[in-house]
Structure 1
């Protein structure tokens, strides 16, 4: 890594950072790198929680007095994805401009805006739909953070450990999706201590059929406020910034490299699928299987997919360091192809007997997407030099973050036209096949241009 000495700004900027130097790494770099990883991972987990908070809330809105159509509900789950993708494009270029310490601290504090907004909006069923759309869009700040956090972490580690470090950070961060979907049904069941402090002490009435009970749905957002404040304090206290600097114009050189675009497509296939399926899993269960007697609770299953994908991302980060990312990406794309085709058989169910097969096929998609999420982040630091690798990681993550928006809007449109999302998953299978071919040609086959 090319390093140039720069002035220290209030203790924020390090004057030297050479992780590829074994002596420097053991004596100086390693402790700070791992400390940075754990602090930023905590903030990233909260970012994913806020990003997917809306998907955990919308399935309950019709039961507390909000009268929205199926399309309107899918659009609410789509907006965080739209915003996350747009904001990731901006956040991609911020690490060499702001530095890790400032970027993580202030990005974490921004999460308070959608959290507080949803806390108040949910409490009143008369809240206009456009307000909820705006708040759903603002929840995309959590998705945008990823493209600033991951490149920042990549600067701190030598190439031989970047698969492990980025796999841990992204994998644990992705757990935020499961955390919010798993905890929401529990935390809305009682009044939080802080509710009375912020004027949110009154519960809503939840009605489903003949069942009626009190719930505190605003807790789904409010519960994260203190955790966000803690994460911001930890970031400011313990993080520093490495001397990797570049302005916005200098970073645009990544777009002249064809491998930027190949890796973008591969990451759309892997993380785009993970994020998109995470956003729609619960609503798909509700729409496809909610019509049957004894229908399953969507949130009792929706957290399982993100959980599987997150665990696999953590596990396969170190494996990618040992066997190479390209081989695992090949496994990932082919596995997702077969899983999407299997899923297509259970999208027009005749009874609940098909539900276990639907869930199994969805979990298989998450399984292989999790492998690909880890392996692609091993490939990028091997293909590009450090500063470019950080930019490409941020950019590919930005485009793939449109997954919730793309999946939600396309599925809603296809269901409206055909009554089933089957055509969407056929198209997804074709996309996976194309990406398997790209990865094989450029990175996996004997004599590949960039074996990695």
Structure 2
């Protein structure tokens, strides 16, 4: 790895697997970029999930009497847009650099935030206006893919489970943060001032865009050869991982958008009561994500993810029972547990990506390929897979909100049909892991002297 470059320059020849250079200065550079990456992604998640709070303010009292189906459609819209933007956002990092794209991706959050500040709370505003602004808020969801792709290139494979988990977990905390902001606004100013929620984020967006421009770096290792995403798309493991990520991250973001509305429909909760409960689940789930990466580093991502899906199935059964018993405490407890488990699953599933490709790199080394080239290719493909899985996983969040929309639109006031659907998917994910990753042992080639050893899948 090259000597310490000036901050703000391209890190040319960056090789985090060079342990001597990593200890001398690489760790410090990576940590600085990671901190700013977490903060910018955090704000992106907050703007992305802004409408999960704003819909709770919408009632006939302020001239916005939308029905449950329309509200679930509104929260599903930014989810879909954010998911679709993740692929181009990941590619943009490889084209423009991590620092450059982070500055742009953070600054552009001003657009949907200013529009929300101006429009929300105005009586008589038609639904299509809110859907349009909600779609623009989807740009915050794309930040995840660009941030994760950048962090993958910054950290050595042996630390990627922790680094990716911390980066994603810190970003996911944005879901809980916007809920807390909403709670503070309702508690202090009442339910008639939803624009205050958006106003809080305007100075933060400006500040973080400036800090990213000042202190972050571009990494040449993140630049990928043309067609890396096409190559990753031809790999069946990319689609297996994506299916698992629908179950973990799709659950986290889908429940994050929908939890408040579900409480209103299941238990007639007031906006204050709903927001008072909804922040805890995303908060604990975000904090659990690094734990999932750490457990996967030690025990293997496939094993942790398998048992995690089993626990998520149990949590879903608790929700069904709580709904039938009309028990709000049990329902909130079950939902909070699902948030925590989805956070753990997010970390363990993403850890499987670099582990799979690092294992293939080791196999290439035994065949005589240069070690640096093999691991550089593994990092590039890992970044491409992260982008694809992140996009598809986020679409799972939209599917969850659509399932709730259909479940509550029939007038029954029960989300049980949706919960049964989620339970079935968790079972399918367990069967997938058991068949593909736990029954076939990961390759363990006899690595030559000096080769790096990959973490278990």
Same fold? TM cut 0.5: yes
1:343-389: CA deviations, max 9, x gaps?
11223455xxx111111111121121111011112111111211010
Offset of residue 9 of structure 1: 12
> CA contact under 8 A between 2:78 and 2:138: conserved in structure 1?
yes
Q: Which residue in the other structure is 1:360 paired with? A: 333
Aligned-partner Cα distance in 1 for 2:271–2:20? 60
- After TM superposition, list the pairs within 5 Å mapping 1:120-269 onto structure 2: 120-187=118-185, 206=191, 215-244=192-221, 245-246=223-224, 248-269=226-247
> CA contact under 8 A between 1:267 and 1:373: conserved in structure 2?
yes
Q: TM-score, normalised by structure 2?
A: 0.87
> CA contact under 8 A between 2:110 and 2:202: conserved in structure 1?
yes
Offset of residue 129 of structure 1: 1.5
Q: Quick one: structure 1 residues 314 and 425, their matched pair in 2 at CA, closer, same or farther if it must change by over 3 Å?
A: same
Structure 1: gaps of 5 or more residues: 192-204, 207-214
Within the alignment, does 1:36 sit opposite 2:33 as a pair?
yes
Q: Structure 1 stretch 235-244 or stretch 9-18: which is displaced more? A: 9-18
> CA contact under 8 A between 1:188 and 1:218: conserved in structure 2?
no
Within the alignment, does 1:400 sit opposite 2:393 as a pair?
yes
More helix by share: 2
- After TM superposition, list the pairs within 5 Å mapping 1:273-288 onto structure 2: 273-288=251-266
- After TM superposition, list the pairs within 5 Å mapping 1:48-447 onto structure 2: 48-62=45-59, 63-187=61-185, 206=191, 215-244=192-221, 245-246=223-224, 248-290=226-268, 297-350=273-326, 354-384=327-357, 385-417=378-410, 419=412, 420-445=414-439, 447=441
Offset of residue 323 of structure 1: 2.1
Q: Which residue in the other structure is 1:14 paired with? A: 11
Aligned-partner Cα distance in 2 for 1:51–1:18? 33
Q: TM-score, normalised by structure 1?
A: 0.88
Offset of residue 10 of structure 1: 11
Q: Quick one: structure 1 residues 89 and 347, their matched pair in 2 at CA, closer, same or farther if it must change by over 3 Å?
A: farther
Aligned-partner Cα distance in 1 for 2:386–2:226? 16
> How well do the aligned residues superpose, as a CA RMSD in angstroms?
2.2
Structure 2: gaps of 5 or more residues: 358-377, 445-455
Offset of residue 188 of structure 1: 5.0
1:113-154: CA deviations, max 9, x gaps?
110000000142132211110001111111111111111111
Number of equivalent positions: 421
> CA contact under 8 A between 1:109 and 1:228: conserved in structure 2?
yes
Offset of residue 172 of structure 1: 1.3
Q: Structure 1 stretch 357-366 or stretch 40-49: which is displaced more? A: 357-366
What secondary structure sits across from 1:95 in the alignment? helix
> CA contact under 8 A between 2:7 and 2:217: conserved in structure 1?
no
